[in-house]
Amino acid sequence: MTAGAHKVVAIGEAMLEMAPVGQGLYRRGFAGDTFNTAWHMAQLLGRAASVGFATRVGQDSLSQGFLAELRADGLDVSGIGLDPLRSLGLYLIELEGVERRFHYWRSASAARALADDRAGLEAAVSGAALIHFSGITLAILSPGARQTLLSVLRAARAGGARISFDPNIRPRLWASPAESRAAMRDFLTVTDIALPSFDDEAALWGDATPAVTVERYRNFGIAEIVVKDGAKPVHAFADGAAQVLATPEVPDACDTSGAGDAFNAGYLAARLLRLGATLSLATGQALAAEVIRTYGARAEKARVAGLMPARIAGEGGLAPL
């Protein structure tokens, strides 16, 4: 990733999260795939970058609590619009061992209108060095709003932004596999960094191996690709070379929710600081492990902040941009 202004913006949906903590009890929090990535990046990067989140929320007390938490955690909320009629969606995590199943209530989510205000979206991403979005971002939008988002991303990219995309395919959010494939193809034309998960790619595209997934994304002209595969090795192509990195075991795992989002955050933050691909992959794995040790989709804040300095020191004291 080339140097640029230190502004990062993630676009997508945040929701109320009900995370199990044992004995039939749940902890209320806030989560959502691109939000999880933005929040973790903000904790990792600190003053090295401005990390913002672009979405819509309501004007109710829960939405205001969400905004207050983001401000307290150092995120830029200037790209978050307020909707007088809608609020945050809700999801509940059901665990089977450490693996999770999600139950969603999002039909009235304000985030579904995040691309309805083109000028607001353009302002949110203006001057960004890195813009991150996901397949869930696309799936909750109307076809017309998707085209607005595509146009805004294309213009931002032409202005020097790098675009990061996690396909994060959720079949229930799409009318058909054909619709999701068509949308993915459109947005791959503006993607610089692809961060897919192999199980999603195998289900939607029929990929036989992660290496096949890497090659398919390379055929779209994408120069930086990281294929996550749960506890199995990560397959990547970056800086002109392919590599495979084993994923360390997490013996004290309790909940895999948000692991891929955290991996994205660690990898992208390290690349923003010009670290090499191998160290960036390892940083993503380390942050994902922290999330897996925690109930819910976000790691403990105090434990996140210490990961990046240790990685930078391990690279030889590389200074932030």
Angle subtended at Cα 111 by Cα 50 and Cα 297, rounded to the nearest 5 degrees? 65
Q: Is 96 exposed, middle or buried (CB count within 10 Å of its CB: 0-12, 13-18, 19+)?
A: exposed
* DSSP designation for 240: T
User: With the C-alpha atoms ordered 287, 133, 20, 27, is the resulting torsion angle positive or negative?
Assistant: positive
Q: Encoding tokens for residue 211?
A: 């290496």
* DSSP designation for 91: E
Dist CA 93 CA 104 (whole Å): 9
Q: Which residues, in sequence order, are CB contacts of 21 under 8 Å at separation 6+?
A: 27, 295
Residue type, 232: K
Q: Encoding tokens for residue 282?
A: 């390892």
Enzyme catalytic residues:
261
Angle subtended at Cα 44 by Cα 320 and Cα 307, rounded to the nearest 5 degrees? 100
Q: Encoding tokens for residue 248?
A: 């360390």
DSSP strand pairing (241-245 vs 234-238): antiparallel
137 phi, psi to nearest 5 deg:
-50, -45
Our separate counts of H helices and E strands in the chain read 12, 13
Q: Which residues, in sequence order, are CB contacts of 7 under 8 Å at separation 6+?
A: 49, 50, 52, 127, 128, 129, 130
Q: Encoding tokens for residue 31?
A: 């989560």
66 phi, psi to nearest 5 deg:
-60, -50
